[in-house]
Amino acid sequence: IYVGSDDHALYAIKPDGTIAWKTLTGDDIRGGAAIGVDGTIYVGSLDKHLYAVAPNGQIRWRVSAADKIVATPGIATDGTILIGAEDERLYAIAPDGTVRWLLALPDDLDTTPAIARDGTIYVAGDDASLHAFR
């Protein structure tokens, strides 16, 4: 189990409840973690970064956003990590940490993007709208 905390850390919890490892970010982690097909754990932090963490707890890379990340990342079938931030943008990040694209929306994005089988991305914004795009 992977869980973020208000002590700025991502924890890996073993089935017996003990802590396997703890990795620090620069601020609180409010959203959940997403796990890629290779086992990489993706988590956003209030320090304005999306982190990619190896299964052993080592940080592989981090990508900066212009404002806090409170949502849980979504992962598309091609491995693209999708994360909204409080800077009114949706970020599409390649598994190697490269920013593939950014999409500006009318308000903050604090929810997890949903990705349909046909590739349509759905995300709810603080503007009380559900946005869909491909």
Q: CATH topology for 2-133?
A: Methylamine Dehydrogenase; Chain H (2.130.10)
- How many CA within 13 A on the CB side of residue 77? 7
- Digit-coded pLDDT (tens) for 12-58: 999 999 999 999 999 999 999 999 999 999 999 999 999 999 999 99
Domain ranges of the chain: 2-133
Question: Model confidence at 134, in pLDDT bands (50, 70, 90)?
Answer: confident
- Digit-coded pLDDT (tens) for 75-126: 999 999 999 999 999 999 999 999 999 999 888 888 899 999 999 999 988 8
- What is the reported pTM? 0.94
CB under 8 Å to 15, separation ≥6 — which residues? Answer: none
